[in-house]
Every structure is written in C-alpha cells, then in structure tokens.
Amino acid sequence: MLVLLPPSEGKTPAATDTPFDLSQVDPFADQLEQPRSLVLENLMKVSGRNDALKVLKVGKTITDEVEANRHLLHASVAPAYEIYSGVLFEAGEIKSRGRGYEPSASFEVLVQSALFGVVDLASQIPAYRLSMDTKLGKLGNLGTWWKKRLTPLLDKKAHHRIVVDARSGAYQRAWPGVNGEHDLIRVNAVRVRDGKRSVVSHNAKRYRGILAGALLDRAH
C-alpha cells in the first residue's frame, strides 16, 4: 500500500541540532537531488526579494517563516512526521504514530511537497514555507514543474500497489495517478442527504487525517 498525504502549510521547526542534508531526503534521493536543489536555490533567492510575500502568496504574519527560507541550507531537520502539523496531521495523531513507522515494500506513506516533490514520512527535512501553486522564478508553476519529474518515478513506485490518495487538488496535479497499473483510491468527505451526495470540504482534512492515522496503526 502507498499512502499519499498533502503537506501542511504551517510547519513546526525542528527541535534538534541535526543539519540539513539534501542528498538524504527520501524517496528518490539520487533521482531527485538535482531537481530538489533547483527548487531550494530558487526558494532561497525569492525569499530574499522585496516581493517575497506576494510571490509566495502569504501575509505579513508569515514574514519570519519566509525569512527562514533564506537559510534553509543551514537549518536543522527532524522526521517529516514531526515537521508537518495542521488539521490533517493533528487529527491523525501523525506525530506520535509516525514514531513507529518505517517504510517497507508493503507500506509507505509519502507527503507531497512543493520543495522536495515528495518526501517519505520518516525522512529528515527542515521546516519551510512553499506551496505547490506557487510560480517560483524561472521554474514557473511548481505543480506543473514537478509533474514532469515525478510522474515516471511515482508510476513505477505505485506499480501493482493500492494507492490511497488523501491529497488536495493542487498536490494531486503534481502526480494525478490516473495512469499506470495500480489501484487508486481517492479519499473525499461527502454528505448524503435525501439520497444525494455532496462534497464536504470543511472537514475533509480532518477525516483524511483520521484515516491516515488508522492506516499507520494497522501497519505497525
């Protein structure tokens, strides 16, 4: 089984002294080191510009996080399950459940990332601020940019597996997952009333998080 999660926009800075090593970010450490380096370089550059908040589509309350982007090469890291926070990760108690997680051929949890393309839940990463719908310098729209680089890799990783897709739309565009030989299950929250189904967007992250947490428990 391959579980795909969206990242959280807000992140918890690492409470460690472990230095960032881009070459150790999994999965696809070798294949994606250069693309990840390109995005990292452009993010650090854009974050130092006068219009950084506008380009990154964030408000003034996020100024400190954008400033921290400029120093990512010297940032501390922690497992992704500790870095990502927010509704989905809190609802699924991913931080505590992630401690017992180890990727295997039978079960993997990957988080789609605008900075790294995709990261394993146990991979060591820094906190950063970047969303997939950002147009980042010469790279353009990151969803489109990553799609070209992720598609062959994720198609192969998903081959003959069950893929549980709990991502939101912007992150699904980086790898739609509709082609290839795998079983794709997309997780949506719906309400049934008088026989009619309607999508419930308000609590979707919460329900997806609860499911992700349950799958982590089942895999232990």
Residue 188 has pLDDT above 90, yes or no: no
Residue 220 has pLDDT above 90, yes or no: no
- pLDDT, mean of residues 82-101: 95
* DSSP codes of every residue in 2-47: EEEEPPPSSBPPP-S-PBP-GGG-SSSHHHHHHHHHHHHHHHHHHT
Burial 38-58 (b: 16+ CB within 10 A, else e): bbbebbeebbeeeebbebbeb
Listed range (30-34, 114-118, 140-144, 216-220) with the worst mean pLDDT: 216-220
For position 1, what pLDDT does the model report? 97
What is the rounded distance in angstroms from the CA atom of residue 168 to the CA atom of residue 69? 24
* DSSP codes of every residue in 140-169: -BHHHHHHHHHHHHHHHHHTTSEEEE---H
Residue extents of the structural domains in the chain: 2-219
| Mean of per-residue pLDDT scores for the chain | 95
What is the rounded distance in angstroms from the CA atom of residue 54 to the CA atom of residue 27? 31
Predicted confidence band of residue 2 (pLDDT cuts 50, 70, 90): very high
- pLDDT, mean of residues 57-76: 96
For position 114, what pLDDT does the model report? 98
Taking alpha carbons only, the member of 77, 86, 93, 87 closest to residue 26 is 77
